[in-house]
Structure 1
Amino acid sequence: MESLAIETTSSDLNDPLKADFRNFLYLVWKHLGLPDPTSIQYDIAYTLQHGEQRIIIEAFRGVGKSWITSAFVLWLLYCDPQLKILVVSASKSRSDDFSTFTKRLIYEMPILNHLKAREGQRDSNIAFDVGPAAAAHAPSVKSVGITGQMAGSRADVVVADDIEVPNNSLTQAQRDKLANSVKEFDAILTPKTTSRIIFLGTPQTEMSLYNQLEERGYRLYVWPARYPSQSAIEKYGRRLAPFILNNVARSPDLMTAFEGRGAPTEPLRFPDMDLLAREASYGRSGFAMQFMLDTSTSDADRYPLKLADLIVMGGIGSDLAPVSLSWASGGEQIRSDLPVVGLQGDRLHRPIFISKDFIEYQGTVLAVDPAGRGGDELAFAVVSMLNGWLYLRECRGLRGGYSDENLEYLARAAKRYGANTILVESNFGDGMFLKLLTPFLTRIYPCSTEEVRSSIQKEKRIIDTLEPVMNQHKLVVDEGLIKRDYENYNSYGQDQYHKYQLFYQMTRITRDRGSLPKDDRLDVLAMAVAYWVEYMGKDQETAEQEHKDALFEEELDRFLEDAYGDFKTYSNRYIWNTA
């Protein structure tokens, strides 16, 4: 790698701080009272100094990317005070935190005191000059959010620090908007051979922006939390940091240590037990993405549940539904007005045909997963059945466990949707939850209840239940539910809320145990669908013909009654007398 950030002189080489950013990083860490930088932190620092003109630093969460890069910005100004640096983050507050931290170090570290802004220079936390800087339109350091006002800015170095977060990359529309926003960086960059664009981050989706940037000429470097297996190394390809590859070449056992999981790459800060705990919290797919930096979705069977297999329509929250429907995937059927949290290319579709005849549902179940303590939700789903189609009318999670408010809410939901049966997952509490719920049902909406117990691995059970129904396009979803699920009315943090969304869970589940950090809503949907599966064998055309025959008989009865009075009495008498 060749340094493109600054032009070094012979005098610079005599200054160990200017010659090697790692020396500077060591002093910053000591000033902050931190332990010595780790091997990976030093390697990231080396890559920042000597990396290509357009570079992506992709490392697992907690490794210290932002702190290292704050120190790198100071080092650049220490070496060349005339540089102009623009810091961009997902939000204005995040980028301001970066520049504020950087400015504070200038005022606290003696070796940087000469960089303090002088009288007449800009000196705010979001845009400041360094003392030796000549007068210029652009400040030495400026911070801005990715959706903020970047037009008109000029910079020699653009630092994009964690611009991809869940709430700006979850849907395809958001990903497209983010991809267009970063194109502005090339207009901001000054036309110098030493100008650079540096991205730092952790992928948030399987369709991460960082993967797209590779196609635009960026070099991506990856530092995972564990040493990957040989097959995984081949999948990473040239993305894997040389530091990781060199260590594996020297010690191949690193790939298979700790019962095949792979040795931690940061064993002092993130030992094996710590990583196991994080994997349990994030789920396997989440851990693979945010700690192993694996965004691969090449195996189509890995995520078997697709939003494109659903039928989406409005109005199914009422008591009536169409006698028949037809699914199609043409361009006219795509629902571009609804948020899509599926993987790349996934879409939502409206039906191509809706019967003009609407009748009442043949039955409705409300399924409840009572494991509603700690970080889990008290989740429930309402699914009705009509002529072989299943209608998902509601699915949500309640916080607060078994509170009276939640128990009353469930009882009133059963009444509102006319549930015939309430299903309760009994693996938890040995029937305790049903005993708590029964008094509320007795007072508000008496209906039958049924406990459900399962011994099959959860992920396999969910997929085996939902996949065939969805593949046959027999699951119809209320469009209002899709909007509510995306808005996620429960107050979760920005890096957590998507994990509680039903349709995020649906499109991210795999057959691996623990593949989802949260699966409550998807679990109750599968429970409700499983209840109706035995009724799904009824042939659609037969059901529709039976409905037409019933309508014909009703019309015939009305006609004969108008013509003869009580036709049944008349008919019986006629047959009796003839006999």
Structure 2
Amino acid sequence: MTEQAVDPLKQDFRNFLYLVWRHLNLPTPTPVQYDIARFLQHGPKRRIVEAFRGIGKSWITAAYVLWLLYCNPEERILVVSASKGRADAFSVFVKRLIAEMPLLQHLKPREGQRDSIVAFDVGPSSAHQAPSVRSVGITGQLTGGRATHIIADDVEVPNNALTQTMRDKLAEAVKEFDAVLVPGGVITYLGTPQTEMSLYNVLPERGYVVRVWPARFPNAALRARYGDRLAPFVARKLDKDPTLADQCSGRGAAVEPSRFHDLDLLERSASYGRTGFAMQFMLDTSFSDQDKYPLKLSDLMVLNLSMDIAPVKLAWASGPDQMLKDLQSVGLQGDRWYRPLFVSKDFVEYQGCVLSIDPSGRGGDETSYAVVAMLNGFLYLLSAGGFKGGYEDATLQSLADVAKKFRVKHVTVEPNFGDGMFTKLLTPFLTRTYPCTTEEVRSSGQKERRIIDVLEPVMNQHRLVVDEALVERDMENYNEYPHEKFHQYQLFYQMSRITRERGALAKDDRIDALAMAVAYWVEQMDKDTQKVLDDHKEEMLRLELEKFSQHVLGYAPPSDNWGDGWA
């Protein structure tokens, strides 16, 4: 009988995983962790492990790398992550386990072998051009060595998947794996989707098999969208007890209740927002159906705007000649920026300019603002942004400075909290810096629907024009948020991801401020339109009265006297 047959650790990776977890003083691996381990051992040669955040995909796979080397020291493993630091951290973890676990002492690098963080050999391996384990970032030098296994650990992150250009570069970069992999080698992707157009949705077209372990048991509709990607472990439990999908008030029971119970998942859903939770914990990107995202960046016009004047007339188009190819777009698939088809040579001053402010509530909310000017029925978004502070003097002064810079004629503030306290605190700063009219505008109803109801008609008519410098500024993480979250604070990310579902966005402060400013001008334009209609009716009545007077009396009184009781 061979050693492979008698050694239970080599027979079943799950046995090996149990010992690693014991060494790390972790609880016994959960059923989902064991199921992921089984897929890693017996899955196809090209596979994708999609499991919800926090389940321990990377730790399980680090143990899998050690198991591969334990079973065969001649394996050559390449670890690739979005950043070199992340890949190196994976290697460090593997090296520490080799150094600390008695079971793995024989794998320590020997004298003369490679023994660095980025590349090391295991003791029993023979001399080879490629190290036993090598770590590299996805933008680093992938070629130059061969690998029997490639571990792509979270190669997709917000920083490299936010725009279409970034996604295209990432999709091309991972093609290099085939140049490194030896014949018969294995490629394993680990990750959670970071965008609706995730790389993990494209890879099945290249022959990869996806397995999905969601945080909750899916309902029938979501299960149908998963199709054969849903892990059989989850599918079998649902088949045995279909009520699992209806438990927890219809949210679906937790798949891993020992670690992520219903209350914990509810808190995470509130933190990530409905869309973020769907991607990060339910691994569902099917909601990228364009109809669910009514606000399209392509409906806007992008122009270098002045603070004082604008063209008398503009015309929108979305042809290839109008596409701004060098301007990064955070929109959904195919959603691009476009310049106007026609810009009048005549420029005049804006008819007015408003600053809207949405004070921060609590937690990670921002005090957000938007500056929108109006001319001839077109709205011009001159500036928008947010401050980390709420009621601090620095924030209040900064807002007053914005009002002065753009010479706004009106400031609208959403009261939010404190019974108008924010407005009372802001007024002295405006008085000293730039006196102007200030009013509070209270909002009611579901926020997402209200925002969409205001912005969608204006954008569909291509009446909203955006300053190109603002688009570029919106891409900057100027408030120094964590890299994995800063896109949530971007105005145009919020715009392109908002849906009518409650809690669709984790952060919606900036889009809310913009909606307030647009609502102000829509109301003013409605008033102007009504005045035009009233004036028209009055003119029609005057003409009819003149005709009547001419016919009955034989003369018509002067037009400037009609209505003075002459009849």
TM-score range, shorter chain: over 0.9
Distance in 2 (CA, whole Å) between partners of 1:434 and 1:283 is 29
User: Match of 1:371?
Assistant: 360
User: Match of 2:550?
Assistant: none
Cα deviations by residue, 1:374-423 (Å, 9 ceiling, x for unpaired): 31111000000000000000000011221111111111110110111100
User: Match of 1:416?
Assistant: 405
Cα deviations by residue, 1:520-566 (Å, 9 ceiling, x for unpaired): 00000000000011344578xx9xxxxxxxxxxxxxxxxxxxxxxxx
List aligned pairs for 1:126-525, cutoff 5 A.
Answer: 126-191=118-183, 193=184, 195-297=185-287, 299-314=289-304, 316-371=305-360, 373-525=362-514
What SS does the corresponding residue of 1:333 show, helix, strand or coil?
A: coil
User: Match of 2:40?
Assistant: 48
Distance in 2 (CA, whole Å) between partners of 1:186 and 1:248 is 37
Cα deviations by residue, 1:164-209 (Å, 9 ceiling, x for unpaired): 0000000000000000000000000012x3x100000000000000
What SS does the corresponding residue of 1:190 show, helix, strand or coil?
A: strand
TM-score when normalising by structure 1: 0.90
What SS does the corresponding residue of 1:331 show, helix, strand or coil?
A: coil
Letter in 1 for 2:381: L
Distance in 1 (CA, whole Å) between partners of 2:92 and 2:289 is 44
Shift of 1:70: 0.1
What SS does the corresponding residue of 1:138 show, helix, strand or coil?
A: coil
User: Match of 1:577?
Assistant: none
Q: Does the 8 Å CA contact 2:360/2:389 hold for their aligned counterparts?
A: no
Distance in 1 (CA, whole Å) between partners of 2:492 and 2:32 is 36
Letter in 2 for 1:260: G
Distance in 2 (CA, whole Å) between partners of 1:300 and 1:122 is 51
Answer with 510-519 or 295-304: which moved more.
Answer: 295-304
C-alpha RMSD over aligned residues: 1.2
Letter in 1 for 2:96: R
What SS does the corresponding residue of 2:310 show, helix, strand or coil?
A: strand
Answer with 483-492 or 135-144: which moved more.
Answer: 483-492
User: Match of 2:560?
Assistant: none
Distance in 2 (CA, whole Å) between partners of 1:10 and 1:336 is 61
User: Match of 2:554?
Assistant: none
Letter in 2 for 1:377: E
Letter in 2 for 1:240: L
Letter in 1 for 2:486: Y
User: Match of 1:554?
Assistant: none
Shift of 1:488: 2.6
Shift of 1:283: 0.5
Q: Does the 8 Å CA contact 1:372/1:402 hold for their aligned counterparts?
A: no
Distance in 1 (CA, whole Å) between partners of 2:165 and 2:93 is 33
Q: Does the 8 Å CA contact 2:78/2:147 hold for their aligned counterparts?
A: yes
Q: Does the 8 Å CA contact 1:388/1:535 hold for their aligned counterparts?
A: no
Q: Does the 8 Å CA contact 1:248/1:254 hold for their aligned counterparts?
A: yes
Shift of 1:454: 1.3
5+ residue gaps, structure 1, are 1-8, 543-579
Distance in 1 (CA, whole Å) between partners of 2:306 and 2:506 is 29
Q: Does the 8 Å CA contact 1:365/1:528 hold for their aligned counterparts?
A: yes
Q: Does the 8 Å CA contact 1:368/1:379 hold for their aligned counterparts?
A: yes
Letter in 1 for 2:436: C
Cα deviations by residue, 1:68-127 (Å, 9 ceiling, x for unpaired): 000000000000000100000000000000001001100101110010111100011111
What SS does the corresponding residue of 1:184 show, helix, strand or coil?
A: helix
Distance in 1 (CA, whole Å) between partners of 2:131 and 2:290 is 48
Letter in 2 for 1:366: L
Shift of 1:346: 0.5
Q: Does the 8 Å CA contact 1:488/1:497 hold for their aligned counterparts?
A: yes
Q: Does the 8 Å CA contact 2:361/2:417 hold for their aligned counterparts?
A: no
Distance in 2 (CA, whole Å) between partners of 1:247 and 1:10 is 36
Shift of 1:133: 0.3
Distance in 1 (CA, whole Å) between partners of 2:453 and 2:413 is 20
Following TM superposition, the consecutive aligned residue runs of length 4 or more in structure 1 with deviations greater than 4 angstroms are none
User: Match of 1:545?
Assistant: none
Shift of 1:253: 1.1
Distance in 2 (CA, whole Å) between partners of 1:372 and 1:356 is 44
User: Match of 2:542?
Assistant: none
Distance in 1 (CA, whole Å) between partners of 2:85 and 2:162 is 21
Distance in 2 (CA, whole Å) between partners of 1:125 and 1:27 is 24
Letter in 2 for 1:228: P
User: Match of 1:63?
Assistant: 55
Q: Does the 8 Å CA contact 2:359/2:416 hold for their aligned counterparts?
A: no
Q: How many residues align?
A: 529
Cα deviations by residue, 1:37-65 (Å, 9 ceiling, x for unpaired): 00000000000000001000000000000
Shift of 1:372: 5.2
What SS does the corresponding residue of 2:402 show, helix, strand or coil?
A: helix
What SS does the corresponding residue of 2:501 show, helix, strand or coil?
A: coil
1:93 aligned to which of 75, 85, 89: 85
Letter in 1 for 2:257: P
TM-score when normalising by structure 2: 0.92
What SS does the corresponding residue of 2:263 show, helix, strand or coil?
A: helix
Distance in 2 (CA, whole Å) between partners of 1:187 and 1:326 is 49
Q: Does the 8 Å CA contact 1:373/1:400 hold for their aligned counterparts?
A: no
List aligned pairs for 1:561-572, cutoff 5 A.
Answer: none
Q: Does the 8 Å CA contact 2:487/2:493 hold for their aligned counterparts?
A: yes
User: Match of 2:102?
Assistant: 110
Q: Does the 8 Å CA contact 1:372/1:379 hold for their aligned counterparts?
A: no
